[in-house]
Amino acid sequence: MSKTKFFVIHGTPESNESIHIDGLVVERYTGYVYFGSLFTADGSVSASVRTHADSKMGHVMKFISFKKKRTMILTFK
């Protein structure tokens, strides 16, 4: 099993086929994460935006839970 794979953005149907070299098959990725950003084969950023928004929503929910459990007054400058 090889760790080598390739990735195509907005490719033709021919460019999406696996590559065969001397009996080795190089498979195609449909999505790739680079520095925390998701790249997809169709060039869409909606999946990356959705992933980012979901992760931030987790922080919001933790803060809301914290606020509900605490009765102290928080002051902000």
Q: What is the pTM of this model?
A: 0.42
34-73 burial code (b ≥16 CB/10 A, e <16): eeeebbbbeeeeeebeeeeeeeeeeeeeeeeeeeeeeeee
pLDDT digits (tens, 9 = 90+) for 32-42: 777 777 777 77
pLDDT digits (tens, 9 = 90+) for 4-42: 777 777 777 777 778 888 888 888 877 777 777 777 777
Count of beta carbons in the 10 Å neighbourhood of residue 9? 12
Distance of CA 34 to the CA centre of its chain: 8
pLDDT band at 71 (very low <50, low <70, confident <90, very high): low
Per-residue pLDDT at 74: 65
pLDDT digits (tens, 9 = 90+) for 42-65: 777 777 788 888 888 888 888 888
